[in-house]
Structure 1
Amino acid sequence: MNNTIRTVFQPIAASAVAILLGVYCAASRAADTSAPPAMPPVTAPPAGVYHIDKAHASLQLRVSHMGFSTYTTRFSSFDATLTFDPDNIPASKLEATIESASLQMDAAPKMCLDIVKGPKLLDTAKFPKIVFRSDSIRMTGAKTFEISGTLDLHGVTRPLVLTASYNGGYGGIPNMDPHARIGFSAHGTFKRSDFDMGFGVPAPGSTMGVGDLIDVTIEAEFSGPALANTAGKSH
């Protein structure tokens, strides 16, 4: 086929294929008149013990880096157990444990990572666990509240308050998610120098260093009691 014929034929062939595909798709849509299956009714989550769903949870930290940027990092390994009653949120109890060595610093030089995880800061070999335990919960709105508790970090225990919201949940969905599920967002701040980790904090009036104030953001879903007709089955 010479170049002139090819130049004319290729656009025509492409158009023909597109038209045929369009007719086929339209016919397929017309033939499929079945309605999508109805979702089963969603029930309210029950009171009980809930465990964090690690596939749907994140723990991020933000800190000033020389005043030039707000560096964001995260812990990748943590666990939490929540005793929860949606009708009496203030009665809830939370305990969370973080593996200190799981701090992730994407693209950071090894020297920086060694400092953060070494004796000058987290000292993960000596203090492998970071633990938060709730003491009380105070409602601030219909679905917002403050969680007052203690943070065990670097061998020091100090109070910490988290502001949080209950994002909702359900009692489980048959054949899809046979366990109750609830979700929360939370936020808090603390000074690392309060936990004997003052290395690199900027001098007063300066930003040259890594900030003292640590900003914590948590997003978490928890999996709870199984549906009555699926008890004993795995999730």
Structure 2
Amino acid sequence: MRALRYLVLAGLIGAAVTAQADPVTYKLDPGHTNVLFSWNHFGFSNPTANLGLGEGTLVFDEKDAAKSSVEVTLPLANLDTHVSKLDEHLKKPDFFDADKFANITFKSTKVQSLGGGKYKVTGDLTVHGVTKPVVLDAKLNKSGVHPMLKVQTVGFDATATVKRSDFGVGAYVPNVSDEIKIRITTEASVPKAD
């Protein structure tokens, strides 16, 4: 009888620990992550560039969004507009000054659930050595076991709009738009044990 009580107690403690361990840590997949930004060019076109992903960590709690967080590093070395001369120009001092400021980073400070798989992610965006608060409107695309990786995976899309001049990257405003639209799509998986 005493053994049964210990077994029940151990089960209750285990259940309590499991209930508190809802946040799951994921690693963002650079091969399935695009961080796209677009701008208006003299009113004629709306070019897009991909920053790609260096590395990123997502902590996600579907039941309590406040326990969630995200942190990413976007190396400017990965910047790709599909026009090599434009890539070079955007990395120069009049824009990103990539030799001096090699990375763009984002670190969340607050995650709020809006219901229906939608989230408001507030965080600090650092570009060109300047850090400003930014709000991402995020949507959970899917959460489940990835059919090929056989590990828990989540996918999100997110959007935001920033003014590049706020970050000291104001060359050619207003002819080249100050407003930058950001669109992100990403997959993140629980890292496999080595």
Alpha carbons 1:94, 1:133 under 8 Å: kept: yes
Deviations 1:76-98 (A, max 9, x none): 34321011112222210110100
Poorly superposed stretches of 4+, deviation over 3 Å: none
Letter of the 1:201 partner, please give it.
Answer: V
Instruction: Decide which structure has the larger Cα Rg and report it.
Output: 1
State the shift of 1:101 in Å. 2.5
Mapped contact 2:53–2:75 kept (Cα < 8 A): yes
- Tell me which residue corresponds to 2:63: 87
Task: Give aligned-pair identity as a percent.
Answer: 34
Structure 1 unaligned segments of length 5 or more: list them: 1-45, 203-208, 227-231
1:116 corresponds to which of 90, 95, 111: 90
Cα shift at 1:225: 5.4
Instruction: Give the TM-score of the pair, scaled to structure 1.
Output: 0.69
Residues 1:128 and 2:94 aligned together: no
TM-score by length of 2: 0.83
Instruction: After TM superposition, give the deviation of residue 141 of structure 1 in Å.
Output: 2.1
Q: Tell whether 2:188 aligns with 1:211.
A: no
Q: Point out where structure 2 has 5 or more consecutive residues left out of the alignment.
A: 1-21
Q: Output the amino acid matched with 1:214.
A: I
Residue 201 of structure 1 aligns with which residue? 173
Does structure 2 conserve the Cα–Cα contact (< 8 Å) formed by 1:171 and 1:181?
A: yes
Higher mean C-alpha deviation, range 139-148 or range 71-80: 71-80
**Alpha-carbon distance change, 121 to 172 in structure 1, aligned in 2, over 3 angstroms:** closer
Distance in 2 (CA, whole Å) between partners of 1:61 and 1:97 is 15
2:191 is equivalent to residue 191 of structure 1:
no
Structure 1 counterpart SS, 2:62 = coil
Which residue is equivalent to 2:151? Answer: 179
The count of corresponding residues between Structure 1 and Structure 2 is 173
1:104 maps to 80
CA distance in 1, matches of 2:75, 2:134: 18
Q: Which moved more, 1:126-135 or 1:73-82?
A: 73-82
Quote the Cα distance in structure 2 between the aligned partners of 1:171 and 1:64: 39
Instruction: Let me know the Cα RMSD of the aligned residues.
Output: 1.7
Instruction: Please give the per-residue CA displacement for 1:35-69, whole angstroms capped at 9, x wherever unaligned.
Output: xxxxxxxxxxx742100112211111110010111
Letter in 2 for 1:136: K
Within the alignment, does 1:58 sit opposite 2:34 as a pair?
Answer: yes
Secondary structure class of the residue paired with 2:166: helix
Q: Determine if contact 1:48/1:225 at 8 Å carries over to the other structure.
A: no
Q: Which residue of 2 aligns with 1:148?
A: 122
Instruction: Supply the AA of the counterpart residue of 1:72.
Output: T
**Residue identity opposite 1:99 in structure 2:** P
The 8 Å contact of residues 75 and 100 in structure 1, kept in 2 or not, is answered as yes
